[in-house]
């Protein structure tokens, strides 16, 4: 029996962006000063059957996913997918995800045994429930992956989506970073600082997939590196690069009492999205890539660096000493000189 042929693709492009964050009108507003007035909860706009049994993380992810797919031009006027979903995957990053459902189910079993659990809610205790519901909702039948591996999780998710596409396993992937705020999350993280309550999403596609459907690429996903601290991850991802990036997206500060120092490349503007939107945890890396892509298209920059994670002695309780870095490149203008 002959081994299946594998298509190797080098260019993986970002073609759509979506946000589900109260007070933020879209990806281009992620760097705006925080709005002190409470914004409309994005999940309020969701319609359809079955919402009662979906947790907050899933609802937020569905909002961001819908907007990213629409931004990429992949949804028809009826809201249905306009491309084949067989090789369209989902990669979700969330460290807290459905912890509220898990805690509720555990409490019910402790009080009244498993016989008192709801057959509608118990399946939602699976950590992959958010990615599964996004895939079911939009007919995305490719690889379905959830990452819950600490502060680097969001950048790792973008990297794995790129890897799946570059290896020929997928033509497209919907990457989502989501973290909810609820009582179990506050119990685990504490109330010392604001927490990110929302979701962001991006559509990653093989270059030929974008070209074949006449889509508009926004950025190219570049090198990714993982190391023991942000400085080494930055050095690895920048190996051989002489031109400084247009901006550096800062990793999240570790939880007290640990501390970790990070130094931005000289002369490079640095942005701290956690300071604007609260502690982002597993959503951070995807949030950075969405904001950076929006900035690349707005400012006609060249490249931007995203970093996440902590170094040695920088991780909080129970966190590994690891950091990740990823570079995004702006798409060059077409030969005719028009906008990319």
Per-residue pLDDT reduced to its tens digit, 107-120: 878 888 777 777 77
Tokens at residue 282, please? 């597993």
Q: What is the average per-residue pLDDT within 155-166?
A: 97
* pTM of the model as a whole: 0.89
| pLDDT recorded at residue 260 | 47
Per-residue pLDDT reduced to its tens digit, 319-335: 456 899 999 999 875 54
Reference 76, options 213, 272, 271, 237; nearest CA is 213
| pLDDT recorded at residue 223 | 93
Spell out the alpha helix ranges (H) of 113-152. 129-138
Largest CA distance in the chain: 69
Per-residue pLDDT reduced to its tens digit, 26-74: 999 999 876 666 678 999 988 877 787 899 999 999 999 999 999 999 9
d(CA 162, CA 329): 14
């Amino acid at each position: 029996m002959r081994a299946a042929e594998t298509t190797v693709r080098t260019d993986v492009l970002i073609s759509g962006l979506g946000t589900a964050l109260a007070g933020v009108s879209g990806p281009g507003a992620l760097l705006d000063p925080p709005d002190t007035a409470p914004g409309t909860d994005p999940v309020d706009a969701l319609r359809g059957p079955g919402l009662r049994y979906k947790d907050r993380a899933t609802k937020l992810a569905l909002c961001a996913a819908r907007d990213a797919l629409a931004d990429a031009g992949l949804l028809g006027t009826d809201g249905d997918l306009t491309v084949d979903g067989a090789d369209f995957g989902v990669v979700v990053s969330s460290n807290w995800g459905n912890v509220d459902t898990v805690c509720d189910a555990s409490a019910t079993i402790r009080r009244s045994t498993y016989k008192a659990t709801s057959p509608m809610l118990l399946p939602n205790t699976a950590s992959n429930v958010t990615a599964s519901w996004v895939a079911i909702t939009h007919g995305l039948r490719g690889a379905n992956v959830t990452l819950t591996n600490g502060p680097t999780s969001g950048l790792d998710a973008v990297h794995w989506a790129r890897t799946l596409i570059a290896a020929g396993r997928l033509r497209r992937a919907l990457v989502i970073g989501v973290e909810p705020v609820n009582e179990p999350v506050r119990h685990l993280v504490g109330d010392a600082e604001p927490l990110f309550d929302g979701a962001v999403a991006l559509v990653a596609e093989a270059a030929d997939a974008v070209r074949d459907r006449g889509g508009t690429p926004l950025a190219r996903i570049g090198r990714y590196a993982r190391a023991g601290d942000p400085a080494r991850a930055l050095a690895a991802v920048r190996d051989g690069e002489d031109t400084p990036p247009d901006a550096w997206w800062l990793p999240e500060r570790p939880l007290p009492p640990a501390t970790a120092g990070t130094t931005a490349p000289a002369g490079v503007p640095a942005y701290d999205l956690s300071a604007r939107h609260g502690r982002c945890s597993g959503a951070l890396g995807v949030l950075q890539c969405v904001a950076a892509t929006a900035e690349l298209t707005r400012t006609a920059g060249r490249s931007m660096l995203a970093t996440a994670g902590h170094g040695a002695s920088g991780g909080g309780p129970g966190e590994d000493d690891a950091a990740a870095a990823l570079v995004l490149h702006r798409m060059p203008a077409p030969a005719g000189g028009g906008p990319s």
